[in-house]
Structure 1
Amino acid sequence: MYKIELTSEDLLRIIFEYTARIASERNLKSVLIHMANMGREMILSDRCTVWLIDEINQQLYTTVAHGVDEIRIPYGTGLVGSAIITGEAIIIEDAYNDPRHNAENDLRTGYHTKSIITVPFRNNDGEIIGAYQAINKLTEIGYFTTRDLELLSLAASYAGKSLESVMLHQEIIDTQREIISAMGEIGEIRSKETGNHVKRVAEYSYVLALGYGLDVDQADLLRTISPMHDIGKVAIPDAVLNKPGKLTDEEFEIIKSHTRIGHQLLRGSKRELLRTASIVAEQHHEKWDGSGYPEGKKGEEIHIFGRITAVADVFDALSAERVYKAAWPLDKIENLFREERGRHFDPAVVDVFFAKLPKLLEIRRKLPDDEQSDLSSGGR
Structure 2
Amino acid sequence: MELDQPQAHSTPKRDLEPEEMLRIIFEYAAKIANERTLENVLMLMADMGRAMIVSDRCTVWLLDKHKDELWSKVAHGLDEIRIPSSAGLVGYSVMNDRAVFIDDAYTNEEYKSFLEHGALRTDQQTGYRTQALMVIPFKNSEGEIMGAYQAINKLTASGQFSAKDMEYLTLAASYAGKSLESALLTNEIEETQKEIIFRMGEIGESRSKETGNHVKRVAEYSYLIALGLGLGQEEADLLKMASPMHDIGKVAIPDAVLNKPGKLTDEEFKLMQNHTVIGYNLLKNSSRRILKTAALVAYEHHEKWNGRGYPRGISGEDIHIYGRITAIADVFDALGSERVYKKAWELDRILQLFQEERGQHFDPAVVDVFFEQLPALLRAREEYADV
Q: Helix, strand or coil: the match of 1:133?
A: strand
Contact kept? 2:207, 2:251, Cα under 8 Å = yes
Deviations 1:247-286 (A, max 9, x none): 1000001110111111122222232222221111111111
Q: CA deviation at 1:163?
A: 1.5
Q: Structure 1's 68 and 176: CA in aligned 2 closer, same or farther, altered over 3 A?
A: closer
Q: CA deviation at 1:11?
A: 2.0
**Matched residue, 1:4:** 14
For residue 26 of structure 2, what is the amino acid of its counterpart? F
* Alignment equivalent of 2:55, drawn from 29, 45, 60: 45
Q: CA deviation at 1:111?
A: 3.0
Deviations 1:192-240 (A, max 9, x none): 2122111111100000000111111110111111111111111111111
**Matched residue, 2:219:** 202
Contact kept? 1:203, 1:223, Cα under 8 Å = yes
**Alignment of structure 1 residues 249-264 onto 2, 5 Å:** 249-264=266-281
Deviations 1:111-167 (A, max 9, x none): 332211112222234432111101111222111111111211222222321121111
Q: CA deviation at 1:39?
A: 1.0
Kindly indicate whether residue 140 of structure 2 is the aligned counterpart of residue 123 of structure 1.
Answer: yes
Contact kept? 1:229, 1:280, Cα under 8 Å = yes
Kindly indicate whether residue 282 of structure 2 is the aligned counterpart of residue 265 of structure 1.
Answer: yes
Deviations 1:287-309 (A, max 9, x none): 12222111222222222111110
Q: Structure 1's 367 and 160: CA in aligned 2 closer, same or farther, altered over 3 A?
A: same
**Matched residue, 1:218:** 235
Q: Distance in 2 between matches of 1:343 and 1:306?
A: 15
Q: Distance in 2 between matches of 1:320 and 1:353?
A: 18
Q: Distance in 1 between matches of 2:241 and 2:92?
A: 37
Deviations 1:17-60 (A, max 9, x none): 21111010001111111111111121111111110011111222
Q: Helix, strand or coil: the match of 2:74?
A: strand
* Alignment equivalent of 1:280, drawn from 275, 297, 321: 297
Q: Distance in 2 between matches of 1:276 and 1:125?
A: 38
**Matched residue, 1:374:** none
Kindly indicate whether residue 257 of structure 2 is the aligned counterpart of residue 240 of structure 1.
Answer: yes
* Alignment equivalent of 1:28, drawn from 38, 59, 68: 38
Kindly indicate whether residue 382 of structure 2 is the aligned counterpart of residue 369 of structure 1.
Answer: no
Q: CA deviation at 1:69?
A: 6.0
Q: Helix, strand or coil: the match of 1:172?
A: helix
Q: Helix, strand or coil: the match of 1:95?
A: coil
Q: Distance in 2 between matches of 1:222 and 1:66?
A: 20
**Matched residue, 1:163:** 180
Contact kept? 2:104, 2:132, Cα under 8 Å = yes
For structure 1, the residue ranges without an aligned partner over 5 or more in a row are: 371-380
**Matched residue, 1:327:** 344
**Matched residue, 1:88:** 98
* Alignment equivalent of 1:359, drawn from 376, 380, 383: 376
Q: Distance in 2 between matches of 1:65 and 1:331?
A: 38
Q: Helix, strand or coil: the match of 2:128?
A: coil
Q: CA deviation at 1:92?
A: 0.8
For residue 180 of structure 2, what is the amino acid of its counterpart? L
Contact kept? 1:48, 1:66, Cα under 8 Å = no
Contact kept? 1:49, 1:65, Cα under 8 Å = no
Q: Structure 1's 323 and 292: CA in aligned 2 closer, same or farther, altered over 3 A?
A: same
For residue 38 of structure 2, what is the amino acid of its counterpart? L
Shifted more, 38-47 versus 101-110: the winner is: 101-110
Contact kept? 2:138, 2:147, Cα under 8 Å = yes
Q: Distance in 1 between matches of 2:275 and 2:331?
A: 16
Q: CA deviation at 1:181?
A: 0.8
Identity within the alignment, %: 63
Q: Helix, strand or coil: the match of 1:204?
A: helix
Q: Helix, strand or coil: the match of 2:148?
A: strand
Q: Distance in 2 between matches of 1:86 and 1:369?
A: 44
For residue 67 of structure 2, what is the amino acid of its counterpart? N
Q: Structure 1's 174 and 37: CA in aligned 2 closer, same or farther, altered over 3 A?
A: same
**Alignment of structure 1 residues 42-121 onto 2, 5 Å:** 42-64=52-74, 70-96=80-106, 97=108, 98-99=111-112, 100-101=114-115, 102-103=117-118, 104-121=121-138
For structure 2, the residue ranges without an aligned partner over 5 or more in a row are: 1-9
**Matched residue, 1:306:** 323
Q: Structure 1's 359 and 50: CA in aligned 2 closer, same or farther, altered over 3 A?
A: same
Deviations 1:79-117 (A, max 9, x none): 222322343322111224223323343344443322111
Q: Distance in 2 between matches of 1:152 and 1:340?
A: 59
Contact kept? 1:47, 1:65, Cα under 8 Å = no
Shifted more, 189-198 versus 220-229: the winner is: 189-198
Q: Distance in 2 between matches of 1:174 and 1:27?
A: 11
Q: Structure 1's 66 and 197: CA in aligned 2 closer, same or farther, altered over 3 A?
A: closer
Q: Helix, strand or coil: the match of 2:73?
A: strand
Q: Distance in 1 between matches of 2:77 and 2:228?
A: 26
Q: Helix, strand or coil: the match of 2:339?
A: coil
Contact kept? 1:87, 1:128, Cα under 8 Å = yes
Q: CA deviation at 1:74?
A: 2.5
Contact kept? 1:244, 1:323, Cα under 8 Å = yes
Q: Distance in 2 between matches of 1:256 and 1:72?
A: 46
Contact kept? 1:53, 1:61, Cα under 8 Å = yes
Contact kept? 2:43, 2:73, Cα under 8 Å = no
